[in-house]
Structure 1
Amino acid sequence: MTCLKKIYISIFLSGSLVSAAGQTTHLHISPVLQNKMVVQQNKPFKVWGTAKAGEEIEVKADWLSSKVSVTATEKGHFLAILDVPAAKAGDFRNHQVEIRTSDEVVMLDSLLIGDLWFCSGQSNMQFSLKEDKHAAEELPHAADANLRLFNAGLNFSEEPLDSIAGKWQLCTPETAKDFSAVAYYMAKKLRDSLRYPIGVIFTGIGASAAQAYVPKDVLATDSQLNKSYLAPYLASPKAKEEIDGGFSFEKVTRPYLLYNAMIHPFRNLSIKGFCWYQGEANHFERKIYTHLTQTLISAWRQVFKQGDLPFYYVQIAPFYHEKEDPALAFDAFFREAQERIADLNNTEMIVSMDVGEARDLHPKDKRPLGERLAYTALNRTYGYLNVTYKGPKMLYIQYEGNKAIVHYAAQTIVGGLTTRNGESPAFFALAGDDQVFYPAKAKITEHTIELTADSVTNPVAVRYAFFNYPVTNLQNGAGFPALPFRTDHWPEPLIK
């Protein structure tokens, strides 16, 4: 048996490069590229890594009739680009890609062609399936060889990295239990709906701030973001510390470190889109957060170089912050800032107000959120326009004496207005010229809601679910919750 054949067999069995005894390996591919991964359909599949400088690398995929040849640069880097066909419903064939030099071979095996979604954020996105409200019924059935999961290992870096820890795995009860519940439910719904392979990557960490996921140069060239995030960090003693991979609640808020270690390594990977669930770490910010997140989106799109990739994100959950005071609305003002992110092209916010738990920052029911992400993708990305993906959104207010009538955009009240518990809509409030809000009685009248409040004889402003912790009941006939709103532009009170 020749030396090359020995290498070939070792690679095929283990899925990693192994040389014959005494040989030094020079051919290495990105750790993002592994056995069992999902290859993004209908987009180029990039195979990148390192080899000996000037060496020719041949890459052959079993779905192509010809190979691709590239030459390693003076620094030993190479990147080969393969065409990938469109996925077909019911096609779950395993594929192989062979990467070869004159004396080394890497074989990627058990690949599927489908769609690949990239999920990130903080603890509510990290929240595992085993912690979910439905874990006992869901986990025994979480066995799907055509749904693939990648859980990225935590890391931080001062400089952009090519390496990433983590392993592509088939979805089983054992692998799913420690995976993001939101990402799992989204991927499962897409798999069931599209009937072809789905891959999902989770790369985030609890308590992390949005600025941690933005490239350093992007922060530096934006005057607002530089002043608010980058410059204060670089001027602090923390910036002079040696960076390692260890977790701390402070460290996950530092600018750009998570981007370098947990986003940048995936930059050459073709994907279908992004999902994001983050905000609690920035919840006292307002316009700057909107700008920060829109900048994050634009930066990721530029780095991944696949146009305006869809970016769907989840609103922060209702939470009382240890104070049951409906006058406290700092999270409501933050949700406004979150909502404005969707002014950016090809973005959409998922409303979470009805599945929150006022006394728990990490609500246990993640299934609706994951499925709403999937429904949003089905409508917005895949073109299934008959799939409902949003709830009632206020269009305008009509004032008649002591009454305010809420009108909703027609396309958001599919199946009419209703409540999930059969009771009157909760958490409406009215105010007069004195700018004092009082709880309002709400009555559904066909496709509008009539509001009155005994203490407000001449209403001039309406708010709905506009404080820290309302767990709402108003929805459309398809079960999607109403979007919180306020009609006034009165300044936010100072927090005492």
Structure 2
Amino acid sequence: MNSILRNIFLATVFFMAPLSAEGKAVLPSFFSNNMVLQQKSNVPVWGTTAAGATVKVISSWDKKSYTSKADKEGNWSVTLKTPSYGGPYSVSINDGDYLVLENILIGEVWLCSGQSNMEMPLDGWGKINNYEEEIRNAAYPQIRLLQATHTTSATPLNDLKIDTDGWQVCSPSTISNFSSTAYFFAKKIYEEKHIPIGLLHSSWGGTVIEAWISKGALKEIHDFDIAIKVLESVSDKEALKKQFDADSKVWNATMEKAERGNNGKWETKEFDYSNWKTMQLPQFWENDALVGFDGVAWFKKEFNLPTAMKGKDLQLNFYADDDDKLWVNGVYIGTTSGYNVLRNYTIPANVLKESGNVIAIRVTDNTGGGGIYGKETDLILKGGNESFSLAGKWYYAVGVDFTELPVRPYLPADQNQPTVLYNAMIHPLIKLPIAGAIWYQGESNADRAYQYQTLFPMLISDWRNKFGIKDMPFYFVQLTNYMKAKDEPGASAWAELREAQFKTLLNLKNTGMAVITDIGDAGDIHPKNKQDVGYRLARIALSKIYGIPMSYSGPLYKSFNKKGSDIIVSFTFNETLKSTDCRSLKGFSIAGKDKVFHWAEAKVVGNTIVVSSEKVKDPVAVRYNWADNPDGNLTNSSGLPASSFRTDDWQGITFGNK
């Protein structure tokens, strides 16, 4: 029987087959047209229909028919055996009604998760490098996209909420709001292997790692027992919220009382601020004098009204992190909350004068970056068709540093409660065979970096267990370089988080780490170069899974030994150790028993690095790129940067933070 007659015969049988009940099969959201199924796997397909109904499923790649009888709740399931990659195919489902899923590809399915740097789209709020050109060129019909919706749940869910009707074919019309890192990862693999790629993108900006781990795993360490108990109990949750509101009211009153700007009437035009320090705006204040500062700071600037703007209401635009209040000439204009919200204030004409207008902006930053930030074109005053920039020198002063106050009450946002993202955005997928996972997260846990040494390998092991894939490939991005570079070596929470990631790489099989401390942005926690991030992750997968000989790692610290006043450091991936710019090596520091680090001289000797300093005659420890924003330049024949490391085990600044 030729293939055309066989297909007609199968279709006839399918339609004529008697069924025990009539119904309409309902499938989980991720079974749709355009989907990708993992190659060479046993793939379950399931859903609901009328209780007792017989469901018949035919896969077009092997023409096999599978039958399942729905239980009393209407649940049914069959398992399809997928071939090597190819397509397009279809899957037909008949439970009395006839449903066909079309344009299905068999290939490699990757789960892509983490926080905002994984979520960062090509366009939208992301606007990565060359985003317009990248979007125009994103015609890859063999790459398919599934976008999970931000959802939380106190208990594990069985279906995934998604942003679209199902899988989307990668094209200029579908890629703009999708994860840029995931896209470039898939693009590189496809261009090398021409295997269809399915991307399950399930991430949420600003989230902590414990939100992505199952309850069963988290209960092993007891760090989150109270939070989990609260999540499980409505009465406990309400009591906790009531206590938090009461504590917050007291704390806010204490903060406002301590705030020097309130007491000194800094918002008034008459207040003399000439002795304040100055700062160039826009920029995050961590990049200037207020490194690591959380609290309230005031900014003031004087301007004269351009002739063309006289007698007009003006619009003032800028970005602030997190919240702000605005006065002009002592007149209160308004307030805005939210770190990613463009301020758009109207300043009435009757508030303004021809000269000597004074703007006062009070900015409150609760955590992370703070200040008035963005591009110079974001900080602008407009009147009709006229505008001028307020970028440049502003005066500033600290109203209150939160370290001066009692510890602030804390209640995790819904999405940062333990387990809630695992329950809603990972658990629905665990029956699906996948090729592996890529992960881009850590910023939100940097202040608890020591705890991350436990939580990160826990997440990987937890997901492997839940997906039933022993040693499932898990590739991740190490924290980038960020914030103002420091002149001298010192402590760093971000370096400690990178160490936790590095230790996970060393201790768990079948993991891979993309180091990106050479492509970050001191002033932007969301660096725009997502191309190289995705490509570096892909190089790991291509080498370790897809059989393409390809270098994928810079030098990784292995061991050290002392020889006189030198410390000799050995590495894995030590082929052709060198600097990235053919200059002397940077980023190394050395310390004696006093634990005081000094910048060091470092030179390549064979496949080792010899580190020394005239200031340290009897060294005991070396660190490399141990900073929020390091500038080390060690690489190897791959051209990829070396991971930060330290040879000591001295207690860090995040030790004990939970």
Q: State if a TM-score over 0.5 links the two structures.
A: yes
Of residues 252-261 and 67-76 in structure 1, the stretch that sits farther from structure 2 once superposed is 252-261
- The normalised TM-score by structure 1 is 0.86
Equivalent residue number for residue 136 of structure 2: 140
Equivalent residue number for residue 79 of structure 1: 77
- The normalised TM-score by structure 2 is 0.66
- Classify the secondary structure of the residue corresponding to 1:28: coil
- Classify the secondary structure of the residue corresponding to 1:333: helix
Equivalent residue number for residue 350 of structure 1: 514
CA offsets 1:348-398 (integer angstroms, 9 cap, x no match): 2222212222232111112222112111112222344x2211111223334
Partners of 1:357 and 1:471 within 8 A in 2 = no
**Structure exhibiting the larger radius of gyration computed from Cα positions:** 2
- Given candidates 26, 29, 52, the residue that maps to 2:27 is 29
Equivalent residue number for residue 66 of structure 1: 64
Equivalent residue number for residue 224 of structure 1: 222
- Given candidates 433, 437, 441, the residue that maps to 1:274 is 437
> Partners of 1:169 and 1:162 in 2: how far apart?
21
| Cα deviation, residue 426, structure 1 | 1.4
Partners of 1:225 and 1:292 within 8 A in 2 = no
Structure 1 position 319 matched with structure 2 position 316: no
Equivalent residue number for residue 211 of structure 1: 210
Equivalent residue number for residue 457 of structure 1: 617
Partners of 1:211 and 1:229 within 8 A in 2 = no
Partners of 2:580 and 2:639 within 8 A in 1 = yes
Structure 1 position 106 matched with structure 2 position 85: no
The alpha-carbon distance between structure 1 residues 300 and 240, as it changes in their structure 2 partners (threshold 3 A), is farther
The alpha-carbon distance between structure 1 residues 224 and 322, as it changes in their structure 2 partners (threshold 3 A), is farther
CA offsets 1:242-285 (integer angstroms, 9 cap, x no match): xxxxxx98222111111121112212222100111111111122
The alpha-carbon distance between structure 1 residues 146 and 358, as it changes in their structure 2 partners (threshold 3 A), is same
- Classify the secondary structure of the residue corresponding to 1:339: helix
The alpha-carbon distance between structure 1 residues 69 and 282, as it changes in their structure 2 partners (threshold 3 A), is same
> Partners of 1:314 and 1:137 in 2: how far apart?
25
> Partners of 2:425 and 2:240 in 1: how far apart?
19
Size of the aligned set, in residue pairs, is: 458
Structure 1 position 158 matched with structure 2 position 154: yes
Of residues 470-479 and 49-58 in structure 1, the stretch that sits farther from structure 2 once superposed is 470-479
Partners of 1:32 and 1:265 within 8 A in 2 = no
| Cα deviation, residue 226, structure 1 | 3.8
Specify the code of the residue in structure 2 equivalent to 1:284. Answer: D
> Partners of 2:523 and 2:461 in 1: how far apart?
34
Equivalent residue number for residue 19 of structure 1: none
Of residues 436-445 and 458-467 in structure 1, the stretch that sits farther from structure 2 once superposed is 436-445
Partners of 1:97 and 1:109 within 8 A in 2 = yes
Equivalent residue number for residue 20 of structure 1: none
Please list, as runs of the form range in 1=range in 2, the aligned pairs for 1:56-455 lying within 5 A after superposition.
56-87=54-85, 91=86, 93-101=87-95, 103-130=96-123, 131-163=127-159, 164-166=161-163, 167-220=166-219, 222-227=220-225, 230-231=228-229, 235-237=236-238, 250-320=413-483, 326-342=489-505, 343-384=507-548, 386-409=549-572, 412-414=573-575, 416-455=576-615
- Classify the secondary structure of the residue corresponding to 2:508: coil
Of residues 329-338 and 105-114 in structure 1, the stretch that sits farther from structure 2 once superposed is 329-338
5+ residue gaps in structure 1? 1-7, 9-23, 242-247
Alpha-carbon RMSD across the aligned residues, in angstroms, is 2.6
Partners of 1:355 and 1:471 within 8 A in 2 = no
5+ residue gaps in structure 2? 1-10, 12-21, 243-410
> Partners of 2:523 and 2:612 in 1: how far apart?
29
Of residues 33-42 and 422-431 in structure 1, the stretch that sits farther from structure 2 once superposed is 422-431
CA offsets 1:169-188 (integer angstroms, 9 cap, x no match): 11112322211111111111
Of residues 63-72 and 286-295 in structure 1, the stretch that sits farther from structure 2 once superposed is 286-295
The alpha-carbon distance between structure 1 residues 64 and 238, as it changes in their structure 2 partners (threshold 3 A), is farther
The alpha-carbon distance between structure 1 residues 150 and 218, as it changes in their structure 2 partners (threshold 3 A), is same
- Classify the secondary structure of the residue corresponding to 2:64: coil
Partners of 2:28 and 2:47 within 8 A in 1 = yes
The alpha-carbon distance between structure 1 residues 361 and 228, as it changes in their structure 2 partners (threshold 3 A), is farther
| Cα deviation, residue 452, structure 1 | 2.6
The alpha-carbon distance between structure 1 residues 127 and 299, as it changes in their structure 2 partners (threshold 3 A), is same
The alpha-carbon distance between structure 1 residues 489 and 298, as it changes in their structure 2 partners (threshold 3 A), is closer
Specify the code of the residue in structure 2 equivalent to 1:197. Answer: P
| Cα deviation, residue 493, structure 1 | 4.3
CA offsets 1:128-168 (integer angstroms, 9 cap, x no match): 12322242442221111111111111111223223322331
- Classify the secondary structure of the residue corresponding to 2:174: helix
Equivalent residue number for residue 629 of structure 2: 469
The alpha-carbon distance between structure 1 residues 422 and 43, as it changes in their structure 2 partners (threshold 3 A), is same
> Partners of 1:105 and 1:59 in 2: how far apart?
10
> Partners of 2:239 and 2:136 in 1: how far apart?
45
Specify the code of the residue in structure 1 equivalent to 2:574. Answer: I
Specify the code of the residue in structure 2 equivalent to 1:106. Answer: L
Q: Percent identity?
A: 35
| Cα deviation, residue 46, structure 1 | 1.6
Specify the code of the residue in structure 2 equivalent to 1:423. Answer: R
- Classify the secondary structure of the residue corresponding to 1:285: helix
> Partners of 1:74 and 1:494 in 2: how far apart?
53
